[in-house]
Amino acid sequence: MLCSKVRMALVHETEEVSSHEDMVGAFALLYHHVFSFIKPMALKCVVDLGIPDAIHRRGGAATLSCIAADTGVHATRIPDLRCLMKLLTTSGLFGAATTADGEVVYTLTAASSLVVGPRGLSNIVRFEAGPVSVTPFFDMPAWLRTAPAPDAPKSLFELTHGRSRWDPANADDDTMNDAAFAESQLLIEAVLSDHGDVFRGLTSLVDVGGGHGSFAKAVATAFPNIKCAVMDLPHVVADAPIADGSVQFIAGNMFESIPPADAVLLKYVLHCWGEDDCVKILRRCKDAIPARDAGGKVIITEMVLGSGPRDRNVAETEEMHSLFLTCISGVGREEHEWKKIFSDAGFSDYKITPVMGPISVIEVYP
């Protein structure tokens, strides 16, 4: 009965709004959503063609004919290339200026500069806009109608691909691994260059779930006085590169115990787990560190919904990222949700510092 009353009220309200609303704007908004899939496909296309790198090699500005010549685009396809670049210019990925003779010159923006070069985020574009990431969303209606069961897929990703996002079989997917590595490297640079104070005063650090130790090695290089260790599952540690002395690798299970250190680092770990498991992990972290006045803390890098500067693009990006996390059985959390987890785990205080888009560094104190 309540749903019927609400529905009738909304229908009445919608009819009133429609009589006054600019229907051109309404259709534009609807079609914007319908065709929004074209933007990531267009971006993936220019990345696969190497267009950002081609523009970069020409000093940051290039005409269509130069772009075509440098990327192997057939001369007969230049009108199509113009349409592609016009879309990405309108959406802010590239800049454009018209010369005195009427020729358009395309330039890189801060966003398109992020996919230039071997250290760029081109592999993230290829993965996130590729079939492995996109295909599961075709199954979302079926997923939403599926009741949880012991033998049912644990995520939308698993429903589509027959394995979880974290299955060891995914190790053979170079695009997935390269994307994760590229994003990790960018995060490391952002944290150490602009927020290095997070690590000042520490004498020891253990990176839990730190894989092959890229973050720990970067910290050890930037802060030679910090003794860094990486703890991960035995099969991950077994495949780690040969130790060079800067980082110690430890096989273990974060649900059981964590080696003692001034600080524990959790990079992109907690979004993979539900609230109860996050509390268990953080309690093990609390057991491993000294009191706050002795420098003890947990350093977390995660998305905190709503924590950074707010505009429509940022808000939509956060919500899309959050929906993608649900696809892979992850969780996007707002600050009050993180606060509850920290409190339930026995921590007294925390500090959130946005560092890269929706990603923040959270310092949690015992």
CB 354 within 8 A of CB 191: no
Q: What is the radius of gyration, based on Cα positions, of the chain?
A: 24
Token pair for residue 27?
């259709």
Tokens 């977390």 correspond to 300
CB 294 within 8 A of CB 270: no
3-state SS, residue 186: helix
> Which of 199-208 are b and which e, b meaning 16 or more Cβ less than 10 Å from the residue's Cβ?
beebebbbbb
Q: Can you give the length of the chain in residues?
A: 366
Is 33 noted as a catalytic residue in this protein? no
Residue from 12, 20, 56, 271 carrying the catalytic annotation: 271
Which DSSP string corresponds to 36-98? TTHHHHHHHHHHHHTHHHHHHHTTSEEEHHHHHHHHT--GGGHHHHHHHHHHHHHTTSEEEEE
How far is Cα 345 from Cα 91, in angstroms, rounded to an integer? 43
CB 278 within 8 A of CB 340: no
CB 285 within 8 A of CB 208: yes
Determine which helix (DSSP H) or strand (DSSP E) holds 25, and give its type and residue range: helix 23-34
Amino acid at 327: C
3-state SS, residue 314: helix
CB 177 within 8 A of CB 193: no
CB 104 within 8 A of CB 63: yes
Residues forming beta bridges with residue 302, ordered by sequence position: 360
Amino acid at 274: G
Active-site residues, by number, are 271
